[in-house]
Amino acid sequence: MIVKVLLVLGALLTATSAFAQTAPPADGDKPPAAQAKPRTPAPVSSSKSIAERLQACLKTDDETKYRLDCYDAVIAPKPRPKPAAAKGVMDCRFIKEEDERLTCFNGFTEQIPKFTH
């Protein structure tokens, strides 16, 4: 009697483990793979002025994509076919080339008088 109970219990455990192993989902049903997200600068509070938010970007390492991402978060890039020379900080968003856009933002932002808190 005990042998039969053990056999039934063993068969039951084997069957449940077989049910737990389901076939993988079809290609269209796969959940998106986890991807590493690029490091982004800390968000700058939008309650501050544009000048203050741009100056906060200066705290990020110079000549890095992170600083450019910070500037782009404050003033979104908006390239146009033939950009003219930037006359103000808002014109920097029209420059397609990232290095040139970063240099443009740096030039104007560094000229802004420092705010005291």
Strands in 12-75 per DSSP E: none
Domain borders along the chain are 50-109
The whole-model pTM stands at 0.44
Q: What is the pLDDT along the chain (117 residues), one digit of tens a residue?
A: 665 555 555 555 555 444 455 555 555 555 555 554 455 555 556 688 999 999 999 999 998 999 999 999 999 998 776 667 888 888 898 888 899 999 999 999 998 888 776
How many of the other CB atoms lie within 10 Å of CB of 77? 14
